Amino acid sequence: MQSSNPVLNRSSAFAPGHGQAYPGAAPYGQPGPYGQQPGQYGGPGMPPQQYQGADSRPMTLDDVIVKTAATLGVVVAAAALAWWFVPQALVTPTLIGGALVAFAIAMVLSFSRRINPAVLMAYAVAEGAFLGIGSKFFAVYVGSSAIVVQAVLATLVTFALTLATYKYFAIKVTPRFQKMVILATMGFAGVLLINFVLGLFGLTTGISGMGPLGLLFAFLGAGLAVFNLILDFDMVEQGIRAGAPQNEAWRAAFGLTVTLVWLYWNILRILAILRGGD
């Protein structure tokens, strides 16, 4: 089973049955072949000293949390700088440029066998620049910057509730559920791509607008982001169980960042459309 998130999909370290991806990795919940005890969060135990290099020790949940927080921190910092310091004459180039650069880097990272942290931070800067200008646009549209704070809080609450639901209700990511989310996500992305191409020819469908159709697609996007979060949680858990190397935490951080940015953007659109312009 693999995630619909292509970032996690690229690495076999997140695939089930990959318990020996890391030298000395133990079966889930059992002592390792060197006599070590199961590791933190139920992951594989630590092997002997010769395998404890930065790239060879197994990934833990702490690794994923720290690296995800660092990546999101750069996104937020870049967004704040773009909001406050990009001059009016450069707003449109920054918005478009940030989106295109972030997309290009995301594609490179998605198909990379190994995530380069420096490239990941470049993605975070470009994504942050886009989000900063885009968020300011919506704040001006509704006449209040409070909408951005509300969208951030709603994103954090949604993330926490999704994680709690996944963990405490022991949600099982079945092949059928996974297939449905993948197909829905691909279909949604395809519609957005067609809408973008039509827009280049001056044709508008309302999908990316601020009307009822735009609101519908914003809700659909937010819902799909939540389902993708569930798949991402499952794949991160599988990676920890399988003894994925520590550097794969950067891949998990990238995948979660992509999904959270997508969730935030759709929530921001929902709030802006519901409030309307003054």
Q: What gap in Å lies between CA 164 and CA 63, rounded to an integer?
A: 19
Q: Which amino acid is at 231?
A: L
Instruction: Name the least confident of 8-12, 15-19, 96-100.
Output: 15-19
Token code pair at residue 202: 């001056």
DSSP notation for 224-235: HHHHHHHHHHHH
pLDDT tens-digit profile of 78-114? 999 999 999 988 998 998 899 889 989 998 998 898 9
Alpha carbons 170 and 84: distance in angstroms, whole number: 43
Mean pLDDT over 50-65 rounds to: 72
* Higher per-residue confidence, 50 vs 235: 235
Interval 5-23 mean pLDDT: 49
What's the pLDDT at 171? Answer: 86
Per-domain residue ranges of the chain:
57-275
| Phi then psi dihedrals of residue 245, to 5 deg | -60, 155
When mean pLDDT is compared across 23-27, 170-174, 206-210, the lowest value belongs to 23-27
pLDDT mean over 144-161 = 96
108-145 confidence digits (pLDDT tens):
998 898 999 999 999 999 999 999 999 999 999 999 99
Q: Left if phi > 0, otherwise alpha if psi is -120 to 50, otherwise beta: which for 17? A: left
Helices within the chain (DSSP H only): 6-9, 61-85, 91-110, 117-142, 146-168, 175-200, 212-241, 249-275
Which ranges in 10-145 belong to alpha helices (H)? 61-85, 91-110, 117-142
